[in-house]
């Protein structure tokens, strides 16, 4: 009987290994297939880190059991080397040097989640907003890109543009759509250096109201173009987060909750892919050395990320370490905020400001423009 149980257990593990390997390989296809053509593979791409861990687990299991099946799993693992390469940064951990060197540009990107509170008061969210503004002042980047930025000229609401300009940013560009009377949300670029031109391209409906914005910034004798954007979010509400928790606990409403969550994921993934095509086309036309900052709402193993990044450098992959999570909810594997540069820059260092103020972490990098 023990021998029979051992055989059944081993066969079950082999079947589970095969299923994991197939799903892993399918998830590796996500960057190369348009979500409109196969949204299921795009959703599988979100689960790549989990599938990777499971596959590695099987490799260790077969090593312990000294079975040749380990080689099959190793081959499958290596087939996804590109997805592994964008999901994990392999640099040695190092402390961020805050003393900025000459000829380097410090750039930061942060989804500030509308600063949590719009109306002037003294509640808990307003206190968090003050901490967020203090964090921006403390980090003191030369160029600051803020997604989901809120501003209002109405005295009953917060005038966030004036407060940030007072920190030493005389130049800014804010593209917004109204979200009510005199209440504006959009992507903003603030700079200590002069802006000689600005521009925007709005995404099609029914996407979110934000646009792809850019500013041409004069730094000494050079001009660079900085892009900032926020792509379509899944727009989960509190009930959706509760549904995800119920899915995790396999409650009686598992099927209904899964349908709701998957429907929102499918819609957002398809919209982001179309927006990514627009971003890539516009950045390809840039006449200047280019830096891109943004909340893509998508992981590195995605069509969105691969399309926008193209052959650009990812500041985190160049100088970071580990997974580099930037979104504080749902999963520890969600790196969805990025700083990218073209090959006319050297990326000198990178850091994440891991503070639970917004639902995103600020990211920051020092870059240096190469001289011809």
Strands 143-151 and 104-111: parallel
> What is the C-alpha to C-alpha distance for residues 133 and 122, in angstroms, rounded to an integer?
15
Alpha-carbon separation of residue 286 from 81, 160, 199, 216 (angstroms): 31, 29, 12, 10
Is 50 exceeded by the pLDDT of residue 349?
A: yes
- Place 214 in a pLDDT band, splitting at 50, 70 and 90: very high
Are the beta carbons of 212 and 282 closer than 8 angstroms?
A: yes
CA-derived radius of gyration, the chain = 22
Answer yes or no: pTM beyond 0.85: yes
* Cα 324 from Cα 227, distance rounded (Å): 21
* Residue 235 pLDDT level (bands cut at 50, 70, 90): low
Structural domains of the chain in order of their starting residue, each with its CATH number: 2-87 (no CATH), 104-369 (3.60.10.10)
Q: How confident is the model at residue 257 (pLDDT cuts 50, 70, 90)?
A: low
- Nearest Cα to 148, choosing from 243, 228, 220? 228
Give me the residues paired with residue 347 across strands: 367
Cβ atoms of residues 338 and 325 within 8 Å: no
**In this predicted structure, what is the pLDDT of residue 240?**
44
Distances (CA, A) of 333 to 48, 51, 88, 363: 9, 12, 10, 16
**CB of 241 within 8 A of CB of 311?**
no
pLDDT digits (tens, 9 = 90+) for 184-202: 889 999 999 999 999 999 8
What's the token pair of residue 191? 């700079």
Q: How far apart are CA 286 and CA 224, in angstroms?
A: 9
Cβ distance 301 to 83 under 8 Å? yes
Average pLDDT, the chain: 89
The whole-angstrom separation of Cα 309 and Cα 289 is 14
Question: What's the residue count for the chain?
Answer: 372
- Best-predicted range by mean pLDDT (89-103, 251-265, 290-304): 290-304
pLDDT band at 209 (very low <50, low <70, confident <90, very high): low
């Amino acid at each position: 009987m023990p021998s029979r149980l051992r055989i059944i257990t081993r066969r079950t593990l082999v079947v589970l290994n095969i299923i994991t390997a197939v799903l892993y390989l399918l998830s590796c296809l996500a960057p190369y297939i348009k979500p409109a053509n196969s949204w299921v593979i795009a959703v599988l791409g979100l689960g790549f880190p989990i599938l990777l861990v499971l596959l590695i687990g099987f490799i260790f299991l077969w090593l312990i059991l000294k079975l040749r099946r380990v080689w099959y799993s190793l081959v499958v693992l290596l087939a996804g080397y590109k997805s592994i390469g964008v999901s994990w940064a392999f640099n040695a951990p190092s402390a961020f040097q805050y003393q900025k060197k000459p000829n380097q540009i410090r750039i930061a990107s942060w989804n500030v989640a509308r600063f949590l509170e719009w109306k002037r008061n003294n509640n808990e969210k307003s206190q968090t907003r003050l901490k967020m503004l203090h964090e921006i002042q403390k980090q003191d980047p030369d160029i600051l890109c803020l997604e989901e930025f809120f501003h209002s000229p109405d005295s009953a609401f917060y005038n966030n543009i004036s407060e940030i300009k007072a920190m030493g940013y005389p130049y800014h560009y804010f593209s917004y759509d109204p979200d009510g009377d005199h209440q504006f949300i959009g992507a903003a670029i603030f700079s200590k250096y002069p802006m000689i031109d600005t521009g925007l391209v709005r995404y099609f409906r029914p996407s979110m109201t934000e646009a792809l914005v850019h500013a041409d910034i004069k730094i000494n004798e050079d001009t660079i173009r900085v892009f900032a954007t926020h792509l379509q979010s899944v727009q989960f509400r509190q009930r959706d987060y509760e549904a995800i928790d119920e899915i995790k606990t396999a409650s009686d409403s598992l099927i209904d909750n899964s349908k709701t969550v998957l429907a929102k994921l499918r819609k957002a993934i398809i919209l982001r892919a179309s927006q990514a095509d627009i971003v890539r086309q516009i950045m390809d036309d840039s006449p200047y050395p280019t830096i891109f900052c943004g909340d893509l709402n998508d992981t590195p193993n995605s069509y969105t990320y691969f399309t926008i990044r193209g052959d650009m450098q990812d500041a985190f992959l160049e100088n970071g370490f580990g997974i580099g999570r930037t979104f504080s909810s749902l999963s520890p594997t969600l790196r969805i905020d990025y700083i990218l540069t073209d090959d006319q820059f050297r990326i000198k260092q990178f850091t994440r400001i891991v503070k639970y103020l917004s639902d995103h972490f600020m990211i920051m990098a020092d870059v240096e423009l190469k001289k011809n």
